[in-house]
């Protein structure tokens, strides 16, 4: 089975549609979204609709939780996050769907045990798993793959028992090159890789009210 695992779209419909177009020819059998559909950019409603059309399995991120009110939203941070404004543009049915997204998910596929989370297993919504995070904190006997988001920086590391993958960000990449990223897991071959996209930022930079 070929899985696409991605995260942190943050209302950036422009970059997300670039990803969707690239994915059409790649033959993915399942899509997993690790959270943060909203925040920073204004198209959260459209992003969540695209996730539904994609039939993606969706997890909750910290920005989604702030929108729902299950995490605090400091006013000074929302000057950048723009989450309160995003909430005003979400349909009631979209909010209801968002409330069903879990914080963590574990699957058994083709003999592999796989865990998905936005932050870290110890702190699913607000934890950060960087490339220099001690692997002992993320490793678990019997867990084959652990997928993370949150940091907007992709990486893959092999611990004693678990291959840990940070998928980076589709909507707001923050590493060298600032190229949207996602991960591909082949559950038959037991291989995982990070893939990059080339996205044109001009439509975002030239649109009024966008960050």
Pairing of β 163-166 and β 145-148: parallel
**Does residue 117 contact residue 57 with C-beta atoms inside 8 Å?**
no
Is residue 208 predicted with pLDDT exceeding 50? no
Least Cα distance to 174 among 33, 31, 36 occurs for 36
Contacts (Cβ under 8 Å, ≥6 apart) of 91: 45
The counts of H helices and E strands in the chain are: 7, 10
- Helices assigned H by DSSP within the chain: 13-23, 44-54, 62-68, 75-81, 83-88, 92-98, 202-205
pTM for this one?
0.95
Q: Does the structure show a pLDDT above 80 at 142? A: yes
Give the pLDDT confidence score for residue 176 in this predicted structure.
78
79-122: per-residue pLDDT in tens?
A: 999 999 999 999 999 999 999 999 999 999 999 999 999 999 99
Mean pLDDT of the chain: 94
Q: Residue 63: helix, strand or coil by DSSP?
A: helix
């Amino acid at each position: 089975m070929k899985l696409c695992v991605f995260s942190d779209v943050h209302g950036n419909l422009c970059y997300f549609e670039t990803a969707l177009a690239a994915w059409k020819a790649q033959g993915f059998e399942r899509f997993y979204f690790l959270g943060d559909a909203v925040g920073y950019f204004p198209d959260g409603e459209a992003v969540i609709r695209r996730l539904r059309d994609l039939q993606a399995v969706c997890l909750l991120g910290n920005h989604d939780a702030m929108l729902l009110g299950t995490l605090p939203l400091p006013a000074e941070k929302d000057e950048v996050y723009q989450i309160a404004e995003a909430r005003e543009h979400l349909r009631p049915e979209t909010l209801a769907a968002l409330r069903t997204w879990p914080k963590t998910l574990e699957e058994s596929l083709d003999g592999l045990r796989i865990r998905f989370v936005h932050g870290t297993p110890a702190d699913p919504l607000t934890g950060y798993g960087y490339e220099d995070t001690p692997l002992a904190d993320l490793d678990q006997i019997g867990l084959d793959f652990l997928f993370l988001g949150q940091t907007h920086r992709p990486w893959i590391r092999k611990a004693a028992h678990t291959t840990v993958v940070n998928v980076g960000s589709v909507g707001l990449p923050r590493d060298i090159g600032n190229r949207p990223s996602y991960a591909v897991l082949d559950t038959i071959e037991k291989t995982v890789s990070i893939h990059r996209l080339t996205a044109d930022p001009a439509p975002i930079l030239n649109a009024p009210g966008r960050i």
